């Protein structure tokens, strides 16, 4: 019989994983400690914006007309223990307050609660991003606290999904990495992932520490790539070069590649910034902090971008924000998401507001979350309304909607035709042709 699956923690990762497992044909039970989330998911509603996820969920949630009924949700640990053969732990690991290290409170609590209800053989699979060494410790905890003892096995299976592409990345991952301690775990996971593996997805088997490190290494590499091109943007700006052309030209070299070389106001979100910091903190504990000193630089190049955007805007307004109206297009940390965690766009908006600017923000999906985090900023229901009367427009998250704006129409409502492109995504020539002073990061001023 096919293994029955549980998913613990129903955020981006868990909700998507649970729906994807049901799509692959498994019976799935999802658990979260927040009853409101479980109630919503049980009705086939997704608590965040993620393209395609709600459709996938509704195809499988029990009780929804026409669904397969393979997916259910609960808040009961007992039910999870009784139901599952394979338990995926997908809770988050945020940055600790006032420290670089990551906060393992949720992971530790989930493992303790789960262990207590494991009364028969089971495979527990960690998916959360954790400091290297955690899996070995958690395997011990499971053995110690589970009534089933040695019949409970642990595997570590990091997740590489991107917000905005969560469904596609989960159903068709570019690799599956599993850190295991024995053959049984590998065999079960090969069964769980038989469909993507059958489609050609590489299945990489490692030990625990390597599996944990693969995840942090991958995110560190991505962060480094972005900061590299942003460092080039700084030099381009000083030398009157064009970082967009530079990225295109170096990207033709396959060893470098074109992806993740978009210069602008830098990376944010719930993953890259906190993951590189947690990695540095862990390296320090392991006595190899020098190996990751470069990540400090990656982090500071990245944070400098936000400050630089504020500087460009101030310069554009003749040296001060006082009494000036500033339109901000974009609040989320990237397009096709409603996530505003550590969003560079909101950080820039907030800094300008604190320096006396009258900031009005518009974002296609992130308004509610942005309001929650920065209630004192102004918000408008459309891009056009946000720009009404503005002395300068800042393009800070590259939603498709903003690329489609008509420069002439927008020119009618602003107080001055000035735009700064913080994502190098707008068509400079089209804006300049419509009479706008257009400036982008790391590109020559016309
Ligand atoms: C990132 C990784 O890409 C995923 O592989 C990983 O699974 C995930 O973290 C995670 O650890 O859970 P995500 O946070 O969704 O995914 O966002 P990315 O697409 O990596 O973008 C991160 C930030 O970098 C965004 O603010 C984006 O605007 C910025 N970025 C990206 C650039 O500034 N330039 C680029 O060229 C690419």
Is 42 annotated in a binding site? The answer is no
Residues 401 and 265 in one domain: no
State the CB neighbour count (10 A cutoff) for residue 100.
Answer: 17
If asked whether residues 282 and 329 sit together in one domain, one would say no
The answer to whether residues 87 and 169 belong to one domain is yes
Q: Last residue of a domain, which of 270, 298, 326?
A: 298
201 annotated as a binding-site residue: no
Residue 245 annotated as part of some ligand binding site: no
The verdict on 259 and 331 lying in the same domain is no
Burial class (CB in 10 A: 0-12, 13-18, 19+), 417: buried
Grouping H, G, I as helix, E, B as strand and the rest as coil, residue 371 is helix
The count of structural domains within the chain is 3
Residue bearing the CA closest to ligand 1, atom 24: 267
Does residue 112 lie within any of the structural domains? Answer: yes
CA-angle at 260, arms to 226 and 342, nearest 5°: 55
49 with 189, same domain: the answer is: yes
Same domain, 225 and 370: no
* CATH number of the CATH domain containing 16: 3.40.50.720
- Domain check: are 65 and 142 in the same one? yes
Q: 335 and 401: one domain? A: yes
pLDDT in tens, the chain (446 residues): 899 999 999 999 999 999 999 999 999 999 999 999 999 999 999 999 999 999 999 999 999 999 999 999 999 999 999 999 999 999 999 999 999 999 999 999 999 999 999 999 999 999 999 999 999 999 999 999 999 999 999 999 999 999 999 999 999 999 999 999 988 999 999 999 999 999 999 999 999 999 999 999 999 999 999 999 999 999 999 999 999 999 999 999 999 999 999 999 999 999 999 999 999 999 999 999 999 999 999 999 999 999 999 999 999 999 999 999 999 999 999 999 999 999 999 999 999 999 999 999 999 999 999 999 999 999 999 999 999 999 999 999 999 999 999 999 999 999 999 999 999 999 999 999 999 999 999 999 87
Same domain, 288 and 321: no
Same domain, 48 and 175: yes
Question: Does residue 211 sit within a domain?
Answer: no
> Same domain, yes or no, for 59 and 137?
yes
To test the pocket of ligand 1, the residue of 167, 267, 440, 442 to mutate (highest count of ligand atoms within 8 Å of its CB) is: 267
Q: Does residue 446 lie in a domain region?
A: no
Task: With beta carbons less than 8 A apart as the criterion, state whether 7 and 90 touch.
Answer: yes
- Ligand 1 binding pocket, CB closer than 6 Å: 129, 159-163, 219, 222, 226, 260-262, 264, 266-269, 271-272, 333-334
The domain of 266 spans: 216-298
């Amino acid at each position: 019989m096919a293994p029955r699956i549980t998913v613990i923690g129903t955020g981006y990762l868990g909700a998507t994983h649970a729906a994807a497992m049901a799509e692959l044909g498994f019976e799935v039970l999802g658990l979260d400690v927040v009853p409101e989330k479980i109630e919503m998911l049980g009705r086939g509603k997704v608590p965040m914006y993620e393209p395609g996820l709600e459709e996938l969920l509704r195809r499988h949630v029990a009780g929804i007309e026409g669904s397969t009924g393979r997916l259910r949700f609960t808040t009961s640990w007992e039910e999870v223990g009784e139901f599952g053969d394979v338990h995926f732990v997908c809770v988050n690991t945020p940055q600790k307050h006032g420290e670089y290290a990551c906060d393992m409170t949720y992971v530790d609590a989930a493992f303790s609660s789960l262990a207590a209800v494991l009364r028969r053989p089971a495979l527990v699979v960690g998916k959360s991003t954790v400091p290297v060494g955690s899996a070995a410790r958690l395997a011990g905890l499971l053995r110690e606290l589970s009534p089933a003892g040695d019949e409970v096995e642990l595997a570590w299976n990091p997740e590489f999904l991107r917000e905005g592409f969560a469904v596609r990345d989960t159903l068709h991952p570019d690799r599956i990495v599993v850190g295991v301690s024995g053959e049984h775990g590998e065999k079960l996971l090969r069964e769980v992932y038989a469909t993507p593996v059958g489609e050609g997805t590489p299945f990489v088997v490692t030990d625990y520490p390597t599996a944990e490190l693969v995840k942090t290494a991958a995110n560190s590499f991505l962060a480094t790539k972005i900061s590299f091109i942003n460092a080039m943007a700084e030099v381009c700006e000083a030398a009157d070069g064009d970082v967009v052309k530079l990225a295109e030209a170096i990207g033709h070299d396959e060893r470098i590649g074109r992806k993740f070389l978009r210069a602008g106001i830098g990376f944010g979100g719930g993953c890259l910034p906190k993951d590189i910091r947690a990695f540095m903190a862990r390296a320090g504990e392991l006595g190899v902090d020098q190996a990751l000193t470069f990540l400090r630089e990656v982090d500071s190049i990245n944070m400098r971008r936000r400050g630089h955007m504020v500087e460009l805007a101030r310069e554009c307004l003749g040296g001060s924000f006082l009494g000036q109206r500033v339109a901000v297009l974009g609040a989320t940390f990237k397009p096709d998401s409603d996530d505003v965690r550590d969003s560079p766009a909101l950080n820039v908006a907030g800094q300008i507001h604190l320096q006396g600017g009258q900031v009005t923000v518009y974002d296609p999906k992130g308004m509610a979350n942005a309001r929650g985090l920065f209630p004192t900023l102004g918000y408008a229901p459309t891009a056009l309304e946000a720009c009404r009367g503005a002395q300068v427009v800042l393009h800070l998250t590259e939603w498709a909607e903003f690329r489609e704006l008509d420069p002439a129409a927008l020119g009618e409502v602003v107080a001055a035709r000035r735009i700064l492109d913080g994502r190098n995504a707008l068509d400079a020539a089209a804006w300049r042709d419509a009479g706008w002073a257009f400036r982008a990061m790391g590109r020559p001023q016309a």
